[in-house]
Amino acid sequence: MAWTDYSTAPAPGTRVCDLETLGAVAALTVETDKGAFPLLVARDGAQVRAYVNACPHQYLPLNYRGDQLLSADGQMLLCTAHGARFDLGSGEAIDGADCGLDPVPVTVVDGTLVIAG
């Protein structure tokens, strides 16, 4: 399912947070007048990737059972509910799930992370 299929998908240009407040990975909620949208953000320096924070297996947030969302080598995102692993850069499933995470386009404008179009 594409991120835009979620009823709470924020419009392009919606502010997410200041880039400097982000660690390596964060589970955020983007609040708009459409409601709360669950966003998973992974940052490596100035490079940021974002996915809908809903695993494709049970539609649970990846941090459902804790905050250990990165593999030890920092290359994979983990679903804490049952340990499925996803490629950090693409969101594709590595094991434990049949399909990958839904990417959300983001960009940085003047130090602020925003939803892209």
The three-class DSSP label of residue 46 is coil
Smallest distance from ligand FES to CB 56, Å:
7
Residue closer to ligand FES, measured from CB, 18 or 67 = 67
Residue closer to ligand FES, measured from CB, 54 or 115 = 54
Residue closer to ligand FES, measured from CB, 27 or 108 = 27
Smallest distance from ligand FES to CB 111, Å:
32
Cβ partners under 8 Å of residue 93, min gap 6: 56, 84, 85, 86, 87, 99, 100
Q: How many CA atoms lie within 13 A of 28 on its CB side?
A: 27
Smallest distance from ligand FES to CB 108, Å:
28
Element (H, E) at 98: none
Q: At 19, phi and psi to the nearest 5?
A: -55, -40
Q: Which residues bind ligand FES (CB under 6 A)?
A: 55, 57-58, 60, 79, 81-82, 84, 96-97
